[in-house]
Amino acid sequence: MQQTGSVEGKKILLVDDDSVIRGLRARILGNLGHNITEADSLSRARSLWAPGAFNLVIVDVKQSLREAIEFCEDIKRAANQVVAFLTPYTTYIPAAACPDDVIHKEDGPAKFRSGSPAVARGRVDQPLWLAGGPLSPSLASLGKMTSA
């Protein structure tokens, strides 16, 4: 378990099997004052998650959409956990799926600057920004990121 960021921020469980992208996202969220716990797999996320331990769980669904949905359903059933899925536009998320928000990687920082449903619900008190990948136009401006 690796934690980054201030204990004063919100607690976020970040699930992504790509260590470079996960580390970049964790750094950005940590710089916004959040306390990030990283998991490299859904099985690791299951072992780290406990009711009330996190304000938000962010899952990159490229690992396995079916497993991500099952994990989401399980933690929502156990504790009404706020969950956001990170996904490319090409991934279909069924309407009945459980995430509170679907974050399209290609959107870059725009969606997080304006807020997502998870943010709007007040469970996370400032907009988030996650790198969409190595081609994200915002990577060049990482040093300019500030919380809203």
Per-residue pLDDT of the chain (148 residues; tens, 9 = 90+): 455 443 457 899 999 999 988 888 888 888 878 899 999 999 999 999 999 999 999 999 886 889 999 999 999 999 989 898 888 878 888 877 788 888 877 766 545 444 555 544 434 433 343 443 332 332 233 233 333 3
- In one-letter notation, the amino acid at residue 83 is V
Residue 114 DSSP SS3 = helix
Rounded Cα gap, residues 131 and 148, in angstroms? 17
Rounded Cα gap, residues 130 and 113, in angstroms? 10
pLDDT of residue 10: 86
Cα 117 to its chain centre, rounded Å, is 13
CA distances (Å), origin 69, targets 59, 72, 102, 125, 135: 10, 5, 12, 25, 27
The DSSP output letter for 80 is -
Q: Which residues pair with 2 in a beta bridge?
A: 38
* Dihedral-angle region of residue 133 (phi above 0 means left; psi in -120 to 50 means alpha; beta otherwise): left
